[in-house]
């Protein structure tokens, strides 16, 4: 019987439990033994009780639970070859040579590295006398399939990552709560939302809540953003709006690569010589990550989990490592490392663009 393992790694996101449930049940349906690796790569390195065989009933109730019930962790040991070697040994001892990982781009990069190194890790384990040649014989190749679990929606090649729509729903709900009190007191709120280097959550939340102004990393405001923001908000107030909502992505930067902070925005809105608004800052923080998954993420995790099992069973030693995406509403297998590379290229392009603008500005300043 084929043995496959499922793991959640990196930052948790709503919908990861749907993935684990789908992989366990689809795996069993396909006549496999399915194992859960607890606490991400840390569990793979520690072995023992961290790797448990899962039965059909073990994932009962998983769909309606937030976070990840099999745990996740950051694992320093897995960044180094000796850590990955111990992980490989634990997998062979359990007879597992297929791994489905739900995590962010870091976790998926680590997975691909592990797959590439696998044959040499096993050879070294034999040469060190930790495993017998006969023990590694059936497990010459490691099959890996990735699923993208991230609230930030920050991976190229897929329209949605598992957890993003849940976080977005949570943000909208929180903004609605804030709006009620903002309206009552005629206040302004500067709301910081998560997303790391990606502005998707902030942008979609701003559209969905009708925010007055927005800051995201991908499209820095022009240098006159202060005047622009005050002008827009003044106009909205003159039209009778009793509340002001400014959404700011945690990674928001100005055109010169400097961070735009909630305090900067608040001070401007509260400035007695300007709008003079009674202004508060709300950092939504981890409520955005917690809570149960919305229907979309349960559906996405389930469909992608099922596809991941099919992909891992169909993979051959020649197959490129894939991840499961959703594009134009279709579940699709895509090359993993190409997507990770494109994600990094987009990020560095944004950085580079800012760098060029900063250099150009510096040059004009010097020539003045
Ligand atoms: P995410 O998966 O959410 O991007 P991290 O980047 O923290 O989160 O990655 C989670 C874990 O994946 C790390 O703690 C580490 O164990 C493993 N990992 C990440 N990047 C690599 C890498 N380049 N090589 C090996 N392991 C990695």
Q: Counting every residue, how long is the chain?
A: 368
What is the token pair recorded at 126?
A: 């034999």
Confidence at residue 355, expressed as pLDDT on a 0 to 100 scale: 62
Confidence at residue 121, expressed as pLDDT on a 0 to 100 scale: 97
pLDDT greater than 50 at residue 6: yes
Q: Average pLDDT in the 313-332 region?
A: 93
Of ligand 1's listed atoms, the one at least distance from the Cα of 105 is: 4
User: Distance from the CA of 212 to the center of ligand 1, in angstroms?
Assistant: 37
Closest Cα to atom 22 of ligand 1: 110
**Catalytic member of 152, 154, 254, 297:** 152
**Cα–Cα distance between 39 and 8 in angstroms, integer?**
7
pLDDT greater than 60 at residue 164: yes
**Cα–Cα distance between 349 and 228 in angstroms, integer?**
26
pLDDT in tens, 304-320: 999 999 999 999 888 88
**Cα–Cα distance between 97 and 352 in angstroms, integer?**
41
Helix spans in 101-249 (H): 105-127, 133-136, 164-185, 200-209, 225-238
Confidence at residue 362, expressed as pLDDT on a 0 to 100 scale: 57
Confidence at residue 368, expressed as pLDDT on a 0 to 100 scale: 46
Give the pTM. Answer: 0.93
Q: Which residues have any ligand 1 atom within 6 Å of their CB?
A: 9-11, 41, 74-75, 78-79, 103-107, 109-110, 113
User: Pairing relation of β-strands 244-249 and 213-215?
Assistant: parallel
Q: Average pLDDT in the 345-360 region?
A: 70
Best of 72, 86, 106 for a ligand 1 pocket test (most atoms within 8 Å of beta carbon)? 106
Mean pLDDT (the chain) is 94
Beta-sheet strands, E only, within 212-278: 213-215, 244-249
User: Distance from the CA of 255 to the center of ligand 1, in angstroms?
Assistant: 30
pLDDT in tens, 249-291: 998 988 888 899 999 999 999 999 999 999 999 999 999 999 9
User: Distance from the CA of 101 to the center of ligand 1, in angstroms?
Assistant: 11
Report yes or no for ipTM above 0.90. Answer: yes
**Cα–Cα distance between 15 and 342 in angstroms, integer?**
24
Q: Is 152 labeled as catalytic in the residue annotation?
A: yes
Closest Cα to atom 20 of ligand 1: 106
User: Distance from the CA of 12 to the center of ligand 1, in angstroms?
Assistant: 13
């Amino acid at each position: 019987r084929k043995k496959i393992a499922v793991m959640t790694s990196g930052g948790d996101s709503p919908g990861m439990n749907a993935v684990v449930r789908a992989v366990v049940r689809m795996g069993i349906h396909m006549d496999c033994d399915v194992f859960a690796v607890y606490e991400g790569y840390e569990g793979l390195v520690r072995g023992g009780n961290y790797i448990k065989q899962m039965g059909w009933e073990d994932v009962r109730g998983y769909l309606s639970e937030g976070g990840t019930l099999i745990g996740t962790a950051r694992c320093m040991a897995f960044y180094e070859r000796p850590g990955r070697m111990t992980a490989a040994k634990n997998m062979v001892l359990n007879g597992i040579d297929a791994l489905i990982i739900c995590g962010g781009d870091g976790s998926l990069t680590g997975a691909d590295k592990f797959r590439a190194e696998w044959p040499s890790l096993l050879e070294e384990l034999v040469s060190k006398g930790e495993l017998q040649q006969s023990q590694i014989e059936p497990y010459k190749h490691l099959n890996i399939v990735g699923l993208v679990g991230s609230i930030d929606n920050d991976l190229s090649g897929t329209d949605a990552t598992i957890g993003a729509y849940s976080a977005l729903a949570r943000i909208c709900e929180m903004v609605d709560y804030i709006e009620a009190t903002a309206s009552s007191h005629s206040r302004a709120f500067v709301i910081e939302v998560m997303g790391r280097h990606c502005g998707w959550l902030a942008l979609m939340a701003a559209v969905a809540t009708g925010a007055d102004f927005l800051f995201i990393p991908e499209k820095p405001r022009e240098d006159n953003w202060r005047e622009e923001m005050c002008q827009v908000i003044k106009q909205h107030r003159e039209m009778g709006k009793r509340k002001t909502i400014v959404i700011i992505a945690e990674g928001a930067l100005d055109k010169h690569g400097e961070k735009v902070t909630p305090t900067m925005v608040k001070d401007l809105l509260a400035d007695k010589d300007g709008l003079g608004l009674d202004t508060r800052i709300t950092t939504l923080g981890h409520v955005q990550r917690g809570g149960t998954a919305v229907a979309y993420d349960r559906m996405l995790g389930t469909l992608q989990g099922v596809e991941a099992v099919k992909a891992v069973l169909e993979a051959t030693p020649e197959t490129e490592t894939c991840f499961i995406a959703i594009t134009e509403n279709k579940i699709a297998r895509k090359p993993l490392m190409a997507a990770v590379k494109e994600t990094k290229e987009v990020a560095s392009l944004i950085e580079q663009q800012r760098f060029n603008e900063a250099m150009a500005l510096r040059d004009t300043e010097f020539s003045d």
